[in-house]
Structure 1
Amino acid sequence: MTAINRFLLNQKAILFLFLAIAIFAALQSYFAGLKTFEEDGRLYTCYNNYVIFKQSFFHLIEGKDLYILYVEEQWDLFKYSPAFALVFGLLAYLPDAVGLSLWAILNAVVLFYSVYYLPKIDNRTKGLILIFIFSELLTTLQNEQSNALIAGLLIFTFGFLERGKYWMASFCIVSTIFIKLFGIVGLALYLLYPGKLKLTFTTAFWAILFTLLPLVVVDAEQFVFLYKSWANMLANDHSISDGLSVIGWLKTWFGWNVNKTYVSLAGVVLFCIPLLKVKEYSRYHFRILMLASILIWVVIFNHRAESPTFIIAISGVALWYFSQFQKRENLVLLILALIFTGLSSTDLFPKFIRNQWIFPYVIKAVPCILIWIKILYDMMAGNIAPRLREDQ
């Protein structure tokens, strides 16, 4: 057995790597000093996103509007649910260095264990998946984002559904929705499994619980106000940018000034086409490709997608490639994703290339778009075969 294989099979070593990178990213942000987010703008901490999450809890218990700017405290708006603001209180009272580190560790650990919870995939392949997504994990952790947590919860949803643990599956999927609404796309996984009545009941239970959770600290009037304010903020946020998405790609590459709603609807239609193959639902590799499709879809059709969001998409890419039989065309697409999605936002690419080409021309998203199209084709053509195990 080679040293590489021994490492890939060593779950503790990979866990240590994930924990180390989480702590490194957190402390790097904490000690990085102050920065501006616009020319001649106010100075804020380099871990501004964490500050937004932390302050949302204090704004909640103080009866303030969560969804307005607090320029004296933070840059940008809080965009998550009132329930998320309440739960973040578990970290909010801690010193920033500690809370920030625990937040990074939570994101890394949830993603790590979600991959190891996948059934019918050997540990060496799981090690390959985790190493492949490592650079994107570092990017999202350096930005204190919740995207690794979202990816992990969606993968856990699949793992729990495969094992018939519907309470835990619905808990995970509802959690993603109350962090970022696009997690709702993960509900499509329910179509692939029996017991839909139980899934409906358990999902409704968790959704009601999460919705009502802020009533622990606010009165009914403030509760209603907060949800109205959240809805208003999200509605106004829709037109702000095109993001590293299909919309941005169509505009920058082809000059198509397309309507975002129409593009999203087209994406929904294309996403749903493989679901017409009901007889394929019984095949594990069809189901895991549906999970991969979801993980990529929620990023490439998100008009607010930015570089740290791509840990979700690259997790889908890894599941797509490493869960099935290796093919030359798939390997080419994987290499493109590794270079132009996984590494393009790192210092391996000179800053002028990133600023003049990678981000303006949405290059980071292109391999994921191509792979998502390939996933649709494979699912429709039934062109799916399991990955050969090392001992076969």
Structure 2
Amino acid sequence: MRLCFMHINCLGNNLYLQLSTMNSILLKAKAFFLQHKTLAFLYFAIALLSSIQLLVADQNNNFYIFRASSQHLLRGLPLYIEYPKEYFDFFYYHPVFPVLFLPFSLLPLYPSLVLWLFCTAATCYFLFRKIPLPKEKVSIFLFLMIFDVLNNLNHTQTNPFILAFMLLAWVLMEKEKFFTAALFITLCFLIKGYGGIIALLCLYYRNWWKMIFYGLFWFLALNALLLLFISPSMIVQYYTDWLAVISGNGIKESYSVYGLLKNMHENLPEGYILGSALAILGAFLSMQYFIPARQKSHIVAFLLIWVIVFNRAAESATYIFAIAGCIIWYLSRPANKISSVLFWVTILISSIIPTDISDAFDHFRYDNYLKCILCLLVMADMFVYTIGALRNSIVARKTVEL
């Protein structure tokens, strides 16, 4: 019997040593991957990897659209019609976007493609580092965002640029640099209209009303750049065509609540979905307004998720915004086991596990709108927490009054 206990004790000690060793290895690995040098190398590596893949495969339709839009602008051609000999699909971006993309359009195709990819990765790395969270949490954010940044690089998307500018606008508002913040908010809007959603954050700062005038100034100034290339009447025509194309039925991507509900009820009026989405947004922002000790990071996280899950043009790549919102929420809220499990399930299914590993899983994930549903659950978690915080603030106020 004594020998048996000694044997069990020995096994227990060995197991403890193995677990301690494994824990030490994990801690060292975490410290290594969260170093800024390592993260900088990883962002450089994904830009290089995407460059090689796209140069070999030549799957650059989005980039062809961007380049063609600038060239069409220079030639005074319509932007929002089909050009099947140059690319497939339509150009959906703001009329000012071709001016912003012009430096890349003037270079030869492949050098401009590589430059675009490396500029995108570098912009994400340097601007993500500035978000107002503790240093280690910023490093975690940088690391977890790599997967979605890589996905967008592989599709030569503008989403990483817009996300980086949205987060920079938050940083600048924290520093009360509203004039510069308004510039980046306007740039977000002038690339993809819904990027301007971050402007709602200014309502929680002093002198928020100045942002209206600053935003108007930058909007007019950047639109004035079009006058260098086309006439005022052509600008009006571009805007007319743009509004028609983004509000029409040509947008086939609806990987959001729109697509989810349309599959369940094909004739459901889109106005009902939009009204419900605005009600949810208004309810959350209103509750945040009445919480004295609110955290701006929670508002930013909610806006980033909301603008995608209720977006009729959402596709897989645009979930970089929602994933960024989920990560910011996870890093800034108090620890909670249920919320943590929800987060890691969301981040694994929606971001970390790549496509093409299993066709069956890819179809299951996409056909059942898993990214959308999981992000909606994260939003529900945010609502539950916010309601609790609001209740606590009301109780605390009544206690002080007594």
User: Please, what TM-score do these two structures have when normalized by structure 1?
Assistant: 0.88
Task: Provide the C-alpha distance between the structure 2 equivalents of 1:127 and 1:257, rounded to a whole number of angstroms.
Answer: 45
Shift of 1:228: 1.4
Which structure 1 segments of 5+ residues have no match?
A: 34-45, 386-392
Q: Distance in 2 between matches of 1:336 and 1:259?
A: 32
Measured after TM superposition, the shift of residue 267 of structure 1 is 0.9
- The equivalent residue for 1:390 is none
- 1:157-236 superposed matches below 5 A: 157-236=169-248
The percent of aligned pairs where both chains have the same amino acid is 26
Q: Which has the higher contact order (CA 8 A, sep 6+)?
A: 1
Deviation at 1:88, TM superposition (A): 0.8
Tell me the equivalent position of 2:372: 365
Task: Give the counterpart letter for 2:346 in structure 1.
Answer: A
| One-letter amino acid of the structure 1 residue matched with residue 228 of structure 2 | V
1:378 and 2:385 matched: yes
Aligned to 1:70: 83
Q: CA deviation at 1:346?
A: 1.9
Unpaired stretches in structure 2, ≥5 consecutive residues:
1-23, 393-402
**AA in 2 matched with 1:211:** N
User: What is the deviation of 1:290?
Assistant: 0.7
Question: What aligned pairs does 1:118-137 form with structure 2 within 5 A after superposition?
Answer: 118-119=131-132, 121-137=133-149
Shift of 1:16: 1.9
The question of whether the paired residues in 2 share the 8 Å contact of 1:247 and 1:303 is answered with yes
Q: 2:57 aligns to what SS in structure 1? A: coil
Q: Does 1:298 align with 2:307?
A: yes
- Asked if 1:3 corresponds to 2:28, the answer is yes
CA root-mean-square deviation: 2.2
What is the CA distance between 1:8 and its match in structure 2? 4.5
Q: What residue is the counterpart of 1:58 in the other structure?
A: 71
Distance 1:323 1:292, change over 3 A: same
Matched, 1:335 2:344: yes
**How far is the alpha carbon of 1:78 from its aligned partner?**
1.1
Q: Which has the higher helix share?
A: 2
Shift of 1:257: 4.4
CA distance in 2, matches of 1:49, 1:141: 11
4+ aligned runs moved over 4 Å, structure 1: 254-257, 278-282
Partner in structure 2 of residue 27 of structure 1: 52
- 1:147 is matched with 159
Q: Is contact 1:325–1:384 with CA below 8 Å preserved after alignment? A: no
Contact 1:26 1:144 in 2 (8 A): no
Shift of 1:130: 1.6
Task: State the shift of 1:383 in Å.
Answer: 7.7
- Deviation, structure 1 residue 56: 0.5
Specify the alignment match of 1:268 in structure 2: 278
Aligned mates of 1:315, 1:272 — CA distance in 2:
21
Give the aligned length.
Answer: 367
**Whole-angstrom CA distance in 2 between matches of 1:115 and 1:282:** 27
With over 3 angstroms needed to count, the CA separation of the structure-2 counterparts of 1:63 and 1:375, relative to structure 1, is same
Tell me the alpha carbon deviations over residues 220-262 of structure 1, each in whole angstroms, 9 at most, x when there is no partner.
Answer: 222222111111211214x64461101222344x456422222
Secondary structure of the residue aligned to 2:255 is coil
The secondary structure found in structure 2 opposite 1:189 is helix
Deviation at 1:337, TM superposition (A): 1.0
The residue matched to 1:108 in structure 2 has which SS?
helix
Give the TM-score of the pair, scaled to structure 2: 0.86
- Distance, in Å, in 2 between the alignment partners of 1:149 and 1:214 is 21
